[in-house]
Amino acid sequence: LSKIEAGRIDLEERSFNLMEEVEKIISIYGVRANEKKVKLLKCISKNLPANLLGDPVRLRQVLVNLIGNAIKFTDKGEIRVSAERAPDDEMIIFTVADSGTGIAQDKLESIFDEFSQADSSTTRRYGGTGLGLAISRKLVKLMGGEISVKSELGKGSTFSFTVRMKADAVEAADGKKEKAVDEGRVERALNILLVDDSEDNRLLIMTFMKDSLHTLDMAENGEDAFEKFMMNKYDLVLMDMQMPVMDGYEATRIIRRWEHDKNIADTPIIAFTAHALREEVQKCLNAGCTDHLAKPVKKKELIERIRSYAIQSSV
């Protein structure tokens, strides 16, 4: 804090992928949220550029403080982390909304002060130092924005902050990361949604892809997938077909219906089928899938198939 006050913190300006950055934090905090049986959702508006110019480390610090607090003070319900473009094109609005304990109205201003906690029992029950929000406010200011909170005791809190960050126009035309494959062609980084009820399978695919350019987001069943699909921008969906709650056929159908209603182009969906039987494949295609891979999926096959969706001509 004193470093910031003394002006000894320099902001970096470099290109980073917003979805990747938020995903990193969510995957770390997701474990804690899971333990508390609280849902941790992210919602990155489709109108945001994929790559931004700014200081990802400072941004992460603020998000980590807010998400950490939200989990600490929430015992049931959900936490929603969202990002959208402000009407002023160069500002981005981040929101962390929880359904936790809430904060008394007369404490709302003071929680941003150093060493301030909403009530004296907080340290006893939850620990903490009362410095997180003071640091967050200063960092947000440094990034050209403001932080505010709305809250109701017993119902939850919503922290919002803005930061001034431009789209990285130097990247590929649509602002995505890419890697040259051969002359005239590039492999773009894709945001991929992996839908599979088996944790082992999700881990396996994650391991297959750990050295790739792509960002992987996960859903445990069709319902979860549809919710995530509506809130985020994905370039590709990997869909297991047999799942509890809502299977891959139904999930694909409602994704397609939703895309058509919104006039959005079909996102490629690769079905993971249990057998390579013709009828099975046809059933996936009829539901709206673009493509299929037979399980168990092999690393090379998966990587190559994904690459076929990521390769583009560089001109």
Which residues of the chain form contacts with ligand ADP (CB under 6 A)? 65, 69-70, 73, 98, 100-101, 103, 111, 116-118, 122, 128-134, 157
CB of 61 to ligand ADP, least distance (A): 12
- The nearer residue to ligand ADP, 155 or 164, going by C-beta atoms, is 155
Q: Which residues pair with 137 in a beta bridge?
A: none
CB of 60 to ligand ADP, least distance (A): 15
Among left, alpha and beta (phi > 0; psi -120 to 50; other), residue 193 is: beta
CB of 191 to ligand ADP, least distance (A): 28
CB of 312 to ligand ADP, least distance (A): 42
Packing angle, helices 248-262 and 222-231, rounded to 10? 20
- The nearer residue to ligand ADP, 45 or 116, going by C-beta atoms, is 116
The angle subtended at Cα 294 by Cα 292 and Cα 297, nearest 5°, is 110
- The nearer residue to ligand ADP, 153 or 206, going by C-beta atoms, is 153
CB of 59 to ligand ADP, least distance (A): 17
- The nearer residue to ligand ADP, 117 or 267, going by C-beta atoms, is 117
CB of 151 to ligand ADP, least distance (A): 7
Q: Which residues pair with 147 in a beta bridge?
A: 161
- The nearer residue to ligand ADP, 33 or 239, going by C-beta atoms, is 33
- The nearer residue to ligand ADP, 100 or 222, going by C-beta atoms, is 100
* Long-range contacts formed by 169-176: CB under 8 A, 24+ apart: 170/15, 171/15, 171/50, 171/51, 172/314, 174/50, 175/49, 175/50, 175/51, 176/50, 176/51
Please, are residues 223 and 254 in contact by the beta-carbon 8 Å criterion? no
The residue among 41, 65, 48, 30 whose CA lies nearest residue 223 is 41
